[in-house]
Amino acid sequence: MCSGAQISAKLFIFAPCMKQTILLIEDDATFGTMLQKWCGRNGFEAELCSDIASAQAELTHKKVDLVLSDLRLPDGDGIMLLHWMRDLNMDTPVIVMSSYGEIQSAVAAMKLGAEDFLEKPMNPAILKEKIEQALLKKPVEAKPVKAVKANVDGMVMGKSAVARQMYDHILKVAPTRMSVLIMGESGTGKEYAARMIHENSPRRSKPFIAVDCGSLSRELAPSELFGHLKGSFTSAIEDKTGVFVQADQGTVFLDEVGNLSYEVQVQLLRALQEQKVRPVGSVKDIKVDVRILAATNENLEEAIAEGRFREDLYHRLNEFSLFIAPIRDRKGDIEIFANEFLRQANEELDKSVQGFSSDAMALLEKHHWSGNLRELRNTVRRLVLFASNDIITVDDIPAFASQSTNEDLALQPDNEREQIENVLRKTRGNKTLAAQLLKIDRKTLYNKMHLYGIKL
């Protein structure tokens, strides 16, 4: 039985014996813990988050009856959270609290649907009264929130600890407006990660446009990104709408962003800062609202040091960084991906290969996979194409058995120069990968290249 003496009579109208759940969003750990304990003493369940990203994850996955959020948070503010909730049609009541007592913020919060705006320090009696009033206004059944979309366009989901952490980071940053810099070697699936972020964001119903920056020349990049007017240059035979305008209210994915010329980087930075673009040949700006996701397999900090990439643009793109681990560091996922690629290859090639022998799978898991998922997929397709039996065996992949593995390439004291040159050739000059293969850090590799006069 519930104790009725201490509970407001109003509360019995909608929750005679059920505890209501309050999501507390407070980055001051001491104050947040105090609030959480206060909620418990007053008949409420309370979940505590310290930032907007974790609060969005809670709201997406759990039933919450009321949000009590601080105005100033490490990754944004309560107004940003209200915008996000409104975009997702969440009707969970929100009370915003602040120690700043800003009238403008209070007005903005109320316009976006906040139930109230309270100034710290709060009177406990008033706080309880405001909470009960907000809960009374809440409908019995909340509107359903669109489920998290984890699988995007046939993307295979790994189950390793590294993969689970990556998906957790994706789902936390997806609902925000933050720009994300996705880093990882070629073939790791950076575009899939970008699509997953888009599909789990409030922009999911708007365009997602991917741009291969490596294919954009210095001359054509401004036109491709920002558009042009007819006659603005020789081949401009008609008006062109740029990617930023096409993706308005959606997401632009800039793949291999490090390949953009310095001049285009300047224009891109202006577009991101001002949310405006100017088509080539035009004197008028066009207002745009796009979220930027960028990817690179290059070390942009090195590019900045070498004067090839703007530091201010790097920080604008890198509001949140996401690292996609190479498949060789996700051994537990290789079997999952290989079997899925086999299924796809059977369908594509009209074959019926059943799987891999244990020895064959062990060989796949031992291989270095410098091309990551792209190399694995292509390899499996070839194996399926030439397979003469139901099961792929070691005999079907003899090339792997004769190749050196990651362990074989560790740098030895003798013939260092020759080993370094050989590995740099194998990696096509990718110094980060070469250092990994040689079991040394990049700084040591650079020092040894300088020592031996090795130039690329």
Please spell the DSSP secondary structure of 87-143, one letter per residue: HTT----EEEEESS--HHHHHHHHHTT-SEEEESSPPHHHHHHHHHHHHHHS-SSPP
Q: Which two tokens stand for residue 123?
A: 């009177």
Cβ-based neighbours of 49, under 8 Å, separated by 6 or more: 23, 24, 25, 26, 55, 58
Can you tell me which residue has the tokens 């920056």? Answer: 213
User: How does residue 107 score in pLDDT terms, banded at 50, 70 and 90?
Assistant: low
Neighbours of 414 (CB within 10 A): 6
Q: Are strands 391-392 and 355-356 parallel, antiparallel or unpaired?
A: parallel
CATH topology of domain 406-452: Arc Repressor Mutant, subunit A (1.10.10)
Can you tell me which residue has the tokens 């207002």? Answer: 287
**Dist. CA 9–CA 396, nearest whole Å:** 76
Can you tell me which residue has the tokens 């759940």? Answer: 21
**Dist. CA 81–CA 57, nearest whole Å:** 12
Mean pLDDT value of segment 229-256? 85
Neighbours of 375 (CB within 10 A): 16
Which pLDDT does position 289 carry in this prediction?
A: 93
CATH assignment, 327-402: 1.10.8.60
Question: Across the strands, what pairs with 117?
Answer: 96
Mean pLDDT value of segment 195-210? 91
Mean pLDDT value of segment 416-423? 83
Please give the residue that has the higher pLDDT: either 114 or 176: 176
Please give the residue that has the higher pLDDT: either 386 or 401: 386
The gap between the terminal CA atoms of the chain, to the nearest Å, is 78
Can you tell me which residue has the tokens 């020592």? Answer: 451
**Dist. CA 107–CA 79, nearest whole Å:** 10
CA distances from 346 to 350, 353, 379 (A): 5, 7, 13
For residue range 333-350, list pLDDT tens digits in order: 999 899 989 998 998 888
Please give the residue that has the higher pLDDT: either 367 or 400: 367
CA distances from 422 to 55, 154, 270, 434 (A): 50, 37, 43, 9
Mean pLDDT value of segment 280-289? 87
Among 65-74, 129-138, 391-400, which stretch is predicted with the lowest mean pLDDT? Answer: 129-138
Quick one: what percent of the chain has pLDDT higher than 90? Answer: 23
Q: Are 130 and 115 in contact (CB under 8 A)?
A: yes
Chain region(s) in the chain for CATH 1.10.10: 406-452
User: How does residue 412 score in pLDDT terms, banded at 50, 70 and 90?
Assistant: low
In the predicted structure, residue 22 carries a pLDDT above the cut 80: yes
Chain region(s) in the chain for CATH 1.10.8.60: 327-402
Q: Which of 29-38, 310-319, 426-435 has the highest mean pLDDT?
A: 310-319
**Dist. CA 321–CA 44, nearest whole Å:** 36
Mean pLDDT value of segment 451-456? 78
User: How does residue 417 score in pLDDT terms, banded at 50, 70 and 90?
Assistant: confident
CATH topology of domain 161-323: Rossmann fold (3.40.50)
Angle (nearest 5°) at CA 8 between 3 and 11: 90
For residue range 420-449, list pLDDT tens digits in order: 888 887 777 777 777 777 777 776 787 788
In the predicted structure, residue 41 carries a pLDDT above the cut 70: yes
Neighbours of 424 (CB within 10 A): 20
In the predicted structure, residue 143 carries a pLDDT above the cut 50: no
Chain region(s) in the chain for CATH 3.40.50.2300: 9-137
Which pLDDT does position 8 carry in this prediction?
A: 35
Which pLDDT does position 407 carry in this prediction?
A: 42
Angle (nearest 5°) at CA 108 between 105 and 113: 125
Among 49-53, 116-120, 138-142, 398-402, which stretch is predicted with the lowest mean pLDDT? Answer: 138-142
Which pLDDT does position 150 carry in this prediction?
A: 44
In the predicted structure, residue 419 carries a pLDDT above the cut 60: yes
In the predicted structure, residue 56 carries a pLDDT above the cut 80: yes
Which pLDDT does position 109 carry in this prediction?
A: 64
In the predicted structure, residue 315 carries a pLDDT above the cut 90: yes
Which pLDDT does position 31 carry in this prediction?
A: 85
Which pLDDT does position 142 carry in this prediction?
A: 39
Which pLDDT does position 3 carry in this prediction?
A: 40
Which pLDDT does position 257 carry in this prediction?
A: 93
In the predicted structure, residue 144 carries a pLDDT above the cut 70: no
Cβ-based neighbours of 104, under 8 Å, separated by 6 or more: none
Please give the residue that has the higher pLDDT: either 443 or 394: 394
Chain region(s) in the chain for CATH 3.40.50.300: 161-323
In the predicted structure, residue 254 carries a pLDDT above the cut 80: yes
pTM: 0.57
In the predicted structure, residue 135 carries a pLDDT above the cut 70: yes
CA distances from 70 to 79, 89, 101, 319, 388 (A): 10, 21, 12, 21, 64
In the predicted structure, residue 401 carries a pLDDT above the cut 80: no
Mean pLDDT value of segment 283-309? 90
CATH topology of domain 9-137: Rossmann fold (3.40.50)
Which pLDDT does position 392 carry in this prediction?
A: 94
Which pLDDT does position 137 carry in this prediction?
A: 64
In the predicted structure, residue 388 carries a pLDDT above the cut 60: yes
Neighbours of 30 (CB within 10 A): 8
User: How does residue 13 score in pLDDT terms, banded at 50, 70 and 90?
Assistant: very low
Q: Are 322 and 181 in contact (CB under 8 A)?
A: yes
Residues, the chain: 456
For residue range 153-172, list pLDDT tens digits in order: 455 677 888 888 888 888 88
Q: Are 64 and 21 in contact (CB under 8 A)?
A: yes
3-state secondary structure 236-291: CCCCECCHHHHCCCCEEEEECHHHCCHHHHHHHHHHHHHCEECCECCCCCEECCCE
